[in-house]
Each structure stands twice: as structure tokens, then as C-alpha cells.
Amino acid sequence: MSGRLLVSVSSIFNETRSAADRLITDLRAEGIEVSLLVAPRIDGEWRLAKDKVTLEWLEQQRERGHELILNGFDQAVQGRRAEFATLEKHEARLRLTGAIRQMQKIGFEFQIFAPPRWRMSEGTFAVLPEFSFHVAASTKGLHNLESGEFLACRNLSVGEGFGAAKWWRKNVIRAVTRGAEKGNTVRLSASARNLNNPKVAADFRNAALAALELGAQSQSYAQAAAALK
């Protein structure tokens, strides 16, 4: 039985865009889809609306068929915790509303939501049906918000509040191999902050290719969620 391979990259802004572009172009050449996790604010002063180069780049990626996923509102507030990890319903609603409005102003609509570091509070999940999202992704798996179905599949992250050291990357590759051999859904994600390191980028690419070679089918999050209906 063949499994799925879901690959994503987060923390894309002016300082990380080039590294993200190199990896995405490389994986696309291998037939691997890459979902892009996008936020209107990152690192305090950075705003997507004011970064015309990154904005144009994201528009190009969208035109090429890459899936865009809303990845929070203001990642700079995270500190040691993830932005939506502990929010009650009221605060989650405010942040989601702010993120959606800011992204709509610059021409982006989203059907998928994934909180920073994939950590989603019960309050956040409870208010998602109030918005236009069809799919939500968390540390636990993939939620089809239309059908109510759930696919249990933990995320294997490089960076994003997780490790990026050599021993961590080796563990990720081993976990990818085990999952793909069993025909499971393999979720791989990387923070573009870490992709500036060529060794990190190479190991992440190798992990994705290992899953592909073991029969995993590259899919977007939307495609994987649609199969849950």
C-alpha cells in the first residue's frame, strides 16, 4: 500500500526567500509538491504587504500551482511558545480575523490553516468553522473541516521550534523511511530559516526523496484532506 508525502516550508520572508526558492525548485523538479506556509507578519518589523519582492514571489509560486497555507498572524509574538498553542476562543478569533483581513488586502485567500509549529489550542480549533477554511493541520494530523474526518499523521519538522542538528536530521530521515515503508502518510516540514545551511537543505531533500523512492505519492494538503470525505 502506497502512502502520501506532504511537504511544506514555513518562515518565508526577505531573509529566507532565496533558500526556500532553491529547495522548492529542486523538489518540484523531482515531482514533489511543496506547500508554502505564509503569515502576514514575521520577525517584528517584517510585513508581507511591504515586501514587494516576496509578495511577487509568492504570487508566482501560486501561479505555478504551489499550495499556500495560512500560518498564523504575527509569528514575532511567539517567543518560546507557538502563537496559537494556548489561545482561548476569543483571542484565536481575533488573530485569525486579523490575519485573514491583512492577507485579503494583498490578494490572498486561504482554504487551509496551520498554526505556527503546528500547535493548535482547543480554542483555536473550535472557532475555525467560523471562517472559510476547509482544512486544518496540527501536530496530531489533518482535519477535514467540511466532513469532520481526521487523518492521524504526526509532522516531522526541521527547524520550526524543533531540531535542525545533524542527529535530528538523521532521526527525521529514519522516521520518514519507516513511515513510507509502512504506507503511512509522511508529513515533512522545514523552516526556511534553516535552509540557508546547505547541509540542512540537502538532508531535507534526501528525506523527501527517500519517501518518494519507497512509493509515497506526493500530494498537497488539500488533496490529502479531500480523500477523507
Q: What pLDDT digit, counting tens, does each position of 197-212 carry?
A: 999 999 999 999 999 9
Domain boundaries, position 30 = 4-226
User: What CATH number does the domain containing 55 carry?
Assistant: 3.20.20.370
Q: How confident is the model at residue 189 (pLDDT cuts 50, 70, 90)?
A: very high
* CA distance readout (Å), 226 to 38, 53, 145: 21, 33, 10
Residue pLDDT, tens place only, 67-84 = 999 999 986 545 556 899
Q: Residue 129 corresponds to which amino acid?
A: P
CB atoms within 10 A of CB 181: 14
* Residue % of the chain over a pLDDT of 70: 96
The predicted structure's pLDDT at residue 125: 97
d(CA 199, CA 166): 9
Q: Residue 210 corresponds to which amino acid?
A: A
Please give the tally of structural domains in the chain: 1
d(CA 132, CA 142): 16
